[in-house]
Amino acid sequence: MNYRHAFHAGNSADVVKHSLLIALVRALQQKQSALTLIDTHAGCGLYDLIGDQAQRTGEAAQGVLRALADPNPLLDDYRAAVQAVNKDAEPRLYPGSPQVLAQLLRPQDFLILNEKHPEDAAALRSVMRDTPAAVHQRDAYELWLALTPPRTPRGVVVVDPPYEKTDERERITTTLAAVHRKWAHGVTVIWYPLKDRATHERRKDQLRKLGIGKFLCVEHWLYDSEQPGIYNGAGLHIVNPPYAFTEALPPLLEALRTALAPEGHRGKLAADWLG
Ligand SMILES: C[S@@+](CC[C@H](N)C(=O)[O-])C[C@H]1O[C@@H](n2cnc3c(N)ncnc32)[C@H](O)[C@@H]1O
């Protein structure tokens, strides 16, 4: 396990992922019944934006710093989540998904966090100690299968792997299929990087074959044409998104696209149903 999210915290993918997680959970919270939020690949929970690791890549400049400088009110909830972990207007810290999700909890909701890397799991425990979150250090796929369906009537599973292992997509597909068989109405969010369109289309074909009914694909292509061999953007697969979320999605995606478009590119950020 070499991947460390501290190098990438607050990049454009984090801005889209965390903005959509906020919108999704808020949409589910329009109903009073309790929610369990499960973050299978939680990372450290909180990141130093001016620390050595973040400074080495400078990715936050193209992500969170752009979103904070953007005037669009549709990004207010995301900006508030970042400001909540910072004392000054100039952000020094970046909230990972555990902190973003913890901020959304109502008294009736539960948060389960999981991180396998020993150092990151220890950091996560420390960062989350004043929250009601339960922290595990297990294999993400074993935990996803073991803890679903949750005890509450509704739940969301967030799957955000580093994709450093060749069998990552296969493990996601197998686990998603097994979980869907026993929890067909569960909401699941799966993050993935976009490298090239052909690989991505093949992946969508594989997922289509699972026959999961409500399956939304959100894709963020940063550049106007595919850039060979590099990171071209990121996507989220969302199983069973609530209606209030999908209704509110188009203007939010447009606000994010505008805020994050690289110099000289319009990019594309859109949602489509799979199949
Ligand atoms: C992309 S980062 C998570 C970022 C976090 N979700 C956020 O948005 O702030 C992926 C994390 O998954 C962890 N990880 C990798 N393989 C894992 C596995 N099989 N089980 C649990 N955690 C794993 C890595 O150590 C890393 O911290």
For residue 152, the enclosing domain spans: 5-156+177-273
Count the domains in the chain: 1
Query: Mean of the pLDDT values across residues 224-236?
Result: 91
Residue 20: phi and psi, rounded to 5, are -70, -35
Provide the CATH number for the domain around residue 112: 3.40.50.150
Task: Report which listed range, 206-210, 228-232, 246-250, is most confident.
Answer: 246-250
Does a structural domain hold residue 188?
Answer: yes
Token digits of residue 160: 């955000």
CA 232 to chain centre: 17
- The single residue listed with the structure tokens 């400088």 is 69
44 CA distance to ligand 1 middle (Å) = 9
Is 275 a residue whose pLDDT tops 90?
A: no
Q: Who lines ligand 1 at CB under 6 A?
A: 1, 3, 5, 14, 17, 41-43, 96-97, 114-117, 120, 139-140, 160-162
Catalytic annotation present for 160: yes
In a domain, 214, yes or no: yes
What is the mean pLDDT of the segment spanning 177-191?
Answer: 97
Name residue, tokens 């990372």: 43
Q: How far is the CA of 264 from the centre of ligand 1 (A)?
A: 32
Inside any domain, residue 237:
yes
CB atoms within 10 A of CB 149: 15
Cα–Cα distance measured from residue 153 to residue 162, given in angstroms and rounded to the nearest whole number: 30
pLDDT number for residue 230: 85
- Predicted pLDDT at 231: 87
- Calpha distance 174→9 (Å, rounded): 28
Q: What is the pLDDT of residue 1?
A: 76
Helix axes of 97-104 and 118-127: crossing angle, nearest 10 degrees = 30
Flag whether 170 is in a domain: no
pTM of the shown model: 0.97
Q: How far is the CA of 234 from the centre of ligand 1 (A)?
A: 16
3-state DSSP assignment of residue 121: helix
Q: Is residue 169 part of a domain?
A: no
The whole-angstrom separation of Cα 210 and Cα 9 is 32
Residue whose structure tokens are 């997922």: 207
Residue 19 domain flag:
yes
pLDDT at residue 227 tops 90: no
Confidence band for 130, pLDDT divided at 50, 70 and 90: very high
* pLDDT band, residue 177 (cuts 50/70/90): very high
Mutational test site, ligand 1, from 2, 4, 5, max ligand atoms within 8 Å of CB: 5
Most confident of 1-10, 94-103, 203-212: 94-103
Segment 125-151 shows an average pLDDT of 98
- Give the distance (Å) from ligand 1 centre to CA of residue 32: 30
- Does residue 149 have a cis bond before it (omega within 30 degrees)? yes
The pLDDT of residue 186 is 98
Is the residue at 108 inside a domain? yes
Q: Which of 160, 196, 205, 224 is catalytic?
A: 160
Give the CA angle between residues 243, 245, 247 to the nearest 5°. Answer: 70
Q: Is the pLDDT of residue 152 over 80?
A: yes
Query: Structure tokens of 232?
Result: 């071209």
109 belongs to a structural domain: yes
Residue of the nearest CA to atom 6 in ligand 1?
A: 42
pLDDT, tens digit (0-9, with 9 covering 90-100), for 31-85: 999 999 999 999 999 999 998 998 989 999 999 999 999 999 999 999 999 999 9
- The DSSP line for 65-106 is HHHHH---GGGHHHHHHHHTT-SSSS--EEE-HHHHHHHH--
- Percentage of the chain with pLDDT > 90? 91
* DSSP conformational letter for 143: H
Torsional sign, CA 6, 12, 45, 169: negative
Q: Do 140 and 159 contact (CB within 8 A), yes or no?
A: yes
* Cα–Cα distance, 130 to 128 (Å, whole number): 6
Residue 168 has a pLDDT of: 96
Residue 2 pLDDT level (bands cut at 50, 70, 90): confident
Residue with the smallest CA separation from ligand 1 atom 3 is: 43
pLDDT tens-digit readout, 83-92 = 999 998 889 9
**40, 115, 159, best to mutate for ligand 1 pocket (most atoms within 8 Å of CB):** 115
